[in-house]
Amino acid sequence: MATTADIKIGMCIELNGKTMQIVDFQHVKPGKGPAFVRTKLKNLENGRVLDNTFSAGERIEPVRVERRPYQFTYEDDLGAHFMHTETFEELVLDKNMILNADLMTDGQVVEVMFHTDKEIALSAELPPVVEVEVVYTEPGVKGDTASTNSLKPATVNTGATVRVPLFINTGEKIRVDTRTREYCERVK
C-alpha cells in the first residue's frame, strides 16, 4: 500500500473498483485545517477525467501497469487490430481506447498499457509526433491575413483534419503532435 505522499504524475491507482491514471496533482496545506491532495484522475476504461481530493497521508492502492509495443495492422467493424512487435500476438482494441486514433497510419507502432494483474489492455498511445501527408487543403494566398499566426484546415492521409499554416500545400508531408493535434513542422 502507498500513501498520498507517493503520488506521481502518470501513476496508476485503483479507486472505487476502477483503474485510474493520475494526470495532475497538487499538495495543498491551508492555513487552517488539515492538508490534502487535489488530483485529476483519468479513468482508463472510458477516458473521462475527474477531480478527486484525498486527505494527506490517506492510503491509495497502486496498480502495476506495463507498456508493450504493438504495431497497427488494420481496422474493421470489430475495432483496430494490432500485432506485438516481438511475439506476433494479435490484439483487437476499441477505437475509443486510442487517443487521437484518426492520426494513426498503417504500420504505426503504439504503446499499449496493460494491467499486469488482470492482463487486460487499458489504453493505447501513439508516439508524440507522427508524419502524415496533406491530402487536401485550400491554397494560402499571400496577404490573406493581418496576423502572422494564421492557420487553415488540412485533411491528411489518415482522414484526420488538422490546422496548418498558410504556406502548407496539398502533397506536402508534415509532422503533427498527437497529444495536441497541432502542426509541428514540415518534413524535408
Say if CB 87 and CB 144 are below 8 A apart: no
pTM of the predicted protein model: 0.75
Between CA 156 and CA 9 the distance in angstroms is: 32
Q: What is the mean pLDDT of the chain?
A: 88
Domains of the chain: 2-62 (2.30.30.30), 65-125 (2.40.50.140), 129-186 (2.40.50.140)
Say if CB 40 and CB 24 are below 8 A apart: yes
Tell me: pLDDT of 88 over 80: yes
pLDDT of residue 142: 64
- Of residues 144 and 8, more confidently modeled: 8
**What mean pLDDT do residues 37-60 have?**
89
Confidence grade of residue 47 (pLDDT, cut at 50, 70, 90) = confident
Type of residue found at 132: V
Beta bridge partners of 53: 38
Say if CB 138 and CB 154 are below 8 A apart: no
Bridge-based pairing of strands 12-15 and 109-115 is: unpaired
pLDDT tens for residues 138-153? 887 666 565 667 888 9
